Structure 1
Amino acid sequence: SLLKEKNITVNHNHKTSINQLDPLSVDEDELEQTLVIVESPFKNKIQSQAKINHHLTVENFGRYQVEGILGKGAMGIVYQGVDPKINRHVAIKTLQLSDDIDSPEFDEAKQRFFREAQTAGGLSHANIVTIYDVGEDNHLGYIAMDLLTGAPLSLFTQPGQTLPTPLLYQLLIQITDALDYAHNQNVVHRDIKPANIIYDDDLLKVTVTDFGIAYVSDNSKTRTGIIMGSPYYMSPEQILGLKVDGRSDIFSLGVTFYQLLCGHLPFQGESIATVAYQITKAKAIAVNQHNINLPTSAMRICNKAMHKDIEKRYQSMAEFKFALTSALKRDFKVAAS
């Protein structure tokens, strides 16, 4: 996870500074899931940390020359590198390939790591992280990918820190377009949440990242019984271990939209069991009760996207996108760009 130390300045005088962010104090899950670049001389700060200093002895992964360390995730170090032939700067996500304990968890981590390269590597969309290369070197697996600028949307999920509502509609339109493309390539993400979406306020652009638990859907091989993802954003069918398709991503994106609009999660609890009950059985508080300034379309779109009955949700990301585009034009007199 590559956090580019920069001020995140949003239109409408809405400002959030992440200059105080310490890469080694960021939640490991955030670091693992997020790919954002480090711009300022953050590298010196990291290199002074003796506990990861020895990793700087790695000079290259394949043709990529290592320029520094960007962060440490749950699965391994993330480096900044460059392809010297074309001077392309990249993020290099790594995974130790040998382990003292040959555990099922470690095998799953390896499968997840290379699955990300296989699934996202076959996708080409302006709002999906680009995978350039995958390989093995220095006893490490590595994935070379876009070095993104910006910050994860998880920085804008607290009351008082949310982005302007019209902007959120525009960003959701980009995300639905990206996931509609992925679904048409038979790729289901399965872990849509704010931490996995990077926002660049200079470009007013979002990028969907972390396809580590995505899979290529195949009607002859339904994947059931495996619960993967972040509990608060899981669909009822994920919680119940049922067959998952693109409509599960629609539910997770509905939860994400709800949280970004009001700064609260629709389904909460002190334990996974409580959250699971909320998602599968309980009715969420209407989003506009948390934020009275929202248009009625916000409640209507969230409710439909988060419907517990999969057949009553939006049936495709294209349908979700159309609802957002129509509401943006009607409520804010803004055409989707």
Structure 2
Amino acid sequence: MPSNSVESVQAHGVLDHGAASAVDYTLPIDDEATLSQANGTEAVAQTPLLASSPAMALIAQRPVTASPEIQTPRLEARAVHIVENRTPTESHATPASATLQTTTRAMEVSALTVQRIGRYIIEKELAQGTTGKIYKTWDPKLDRVVVLKTVQYGISTSAAEIAALKDRIYREARAIAKLSHPNIVIVYDVDDQPDFSYLVMEYLEGHDLKQVLEREYHLDCGRALEIVAQVCSAMEYAHRAGVFHRDVKPSNIMLLEQDEVKVMDFGIAKISNYLSLTQTGRVLGTPSYMAPEQIEGQATDGRADLFSLGIVLYELLVGRRPFIADSLAALAYKIVHKAHMPPSLENVELPLELDEVLNRALAKRPDERYQNATELREAVLAVRAKLG
């Protein structure tokens, strides 16, 4: 997803005023997600409620985006809520400044998409991938902005298959929603519509590591190690709870202020993979970051996540992934059979101890890797401590 095409969003949060460029919010089975804007416009029906608000005349003149697969009742109350529920500071402003603030906010509100999925009011479509769409939405019950991610059923999926898919999606979502850790994005809700299920997630502001790498090429060694140590903490917690990520990659690792880490999409790759029961061509994970056992279709556990995290660490330190090829077949062969170049040969400023750390993290056989995230975190922090 082109970084200049979407607002910066977590799970991702949105920066509404251009404070940061876009975050790549890819669906878990894609190397890249593609953006889509729905076509069509509708006039907003005027009501006494609209007429009673000082800013609604602006909204009534603006078109709204229509999307055929989503319920589209009129939800002008969302706009009224935003415009009229001003902060105490705004309420004590001078008449002229208050009018300006109200008019400015009304212009922002007028651009919102007045649609909903379930109770969630859609403000913007953020991305589209092979399994569904991602939206910035507002939860009117709890009065907060959230991110909603759909998992679309196949056109040819039978009613029995849909029922089985829903059951699996709900079970996985419940496991993810139980995770409560400062380095893991929160899942708030799961529900379904006739053609898709959806998950509702925490809204955050920041940048993902893919975006950071595109801007900075590679990171300072100490900073990279501190970021990966936080990811390890998230993995420790989730793995102990029996939840594996299966799609660790830079675009699923978000940086907030002061490099606080939030890992996104725990278990989402598995949810998407349920569609492979009725659809062909699905891949569990992102090929460039897969462990050998994932590529070979073998049983996986938390050690596959650690291999993927090893690839991320290598990329943060060197500026490129350890395994690169011109085709998926060649890439798969390299990951399964070929050794990586030691990072100290790619970046001479790196300490030799990192060669040993990454040799173990990227071992082809799971029993030769770090056996849990705690071991990898301790190894990373030991190197960090020597840097001073």
TM beyond 0.5: yes
Q: Identify if the C-alpha distance between structure 1 residues 111 and 278 changes in structure 2 by more than 3 Å, giving closer, same or farther.
A: farther
Residue 179 (structure 2) aligns with: 123
Query: 1:190-209 to 2 correspondence within 5 Å?
Result: 190-200=246-256, 202-209=257-264
Cα distance, 1:317 vs. partner?
0.2
Q: Greater CA radius of gyration, 1 or 2?
A: 2
One of 174, 186, 202 as aligned partner of 2:242: 186
1:83 to partner: Cα distance: 2.1
Q: Which runs of no fewer than 5 residues in structure 1 stay unpaired? A: 7-16, 35-44, 216-225
Q: Which residue number corresponds to residue 177 of structure 1? A: 233
1:53 equivalent to 2:65? Answer yes
Choose from 260, 266, 280 the match for 2:336: 280
State the Cα deviation string for residues 75-102 of structure 1 (Å, max 9, x = none).
22322222223322100112344x5433
1:187 partner SS: coil
Q: Which residue of 1 aligns with 2:106?
A: none
Following the alignment from structure 2 to structure 1, what is the Cα–Cα distance between the partners of residues 322 and 338? 10
Query: Does 2:157 match 1:102?
Result: yes
Paired amino acid for 2:364? K
Give the match for residue 299 of structure 1.
355
Partners of 1:186 and 1:119 in 2: how far apart? 8
1:71 positional shift: 2.7
Task: Find the counterpart in structure 1 of residue 310 from structure 2.
Answer: 254
In 1, Cα distance between equivalents of 2:339 and 2:36? 45
* Structure 1 CA distance for aligned equivalents of residues 301 and 207 of structure 2: 28
Q: Is residue 127–residue 133 contact of structure 2 (8 Å, CA) maintained in 1?
A: yes
CA distance in 1, matches of 2:213, 2:139: 35
Q: Give aligned pairs, total.
A: 291
Query: Which residue in the other structure is 1:290 paired with?
Result: 346
Describe how 1:1-337 pairs up with structure 2 within 5 A.
Answer: 3-5=6-8, 19=21, 21=22, 30-33=25-28, 53-55=65-67, 58=72, 59-97=115-153, 99-102=154-157, 114=170, 117-137=173-193, 139-157=195-213, 161-200=217-256, 202-210=257-265, 211-214=267-270, 228-331=284-387, 333=388
Q: Percent identity?
A: 32
Aligned-partner Cα distance in 2 for 1:324–1:63: 44
What amino acid sits opposite 2:313 in the alignment? Answer: F
Instruction: Work out the CA distance in 1 between the residues paired with 2:177 and 2:318.
Output: 34
Cα separation, 2, equivalents of 1:273 and 1:303? 23
Deviation for aligned residue 1:164:
2.1
Superposed displacement of residue 261, structure 1: 1.0
Report the TM-score when normalising by structure 1.
0.75
Letter in 1 for 2:65: N
Cα root mean square deviation, aligned: 3.4
More divergent stretch after superposition (318-327 vs 191-200): 191-200
Q: Is the 8 A contact 1:157 1:260 kept in 2?
A: yes
Equivalent position of 1:40 in the other structure: none
- Of residues 261-270 and 71-80 in structure 1, the stretch that sits farther from structure 2 once superposed is 71-80
The SS at the match of 2:336 is helix
State the TM-score, normalizing by the size of structure 2.
Answer: 0.66
Distance 1:279 1:293 in 2: 25
Q: CA deviation at 1:252?
A: 0.9
Alpha-carbon distance in 2 for matches of 1:269, 1:204 = 31
The SS at the match of 1:188 is coil
CA contact (8 A) 1:4 1:149 kept: no
Identify unmatched segments of 5+ residues in structure 2. 10-18, 30-34, 42-63, 73-114, 272-281
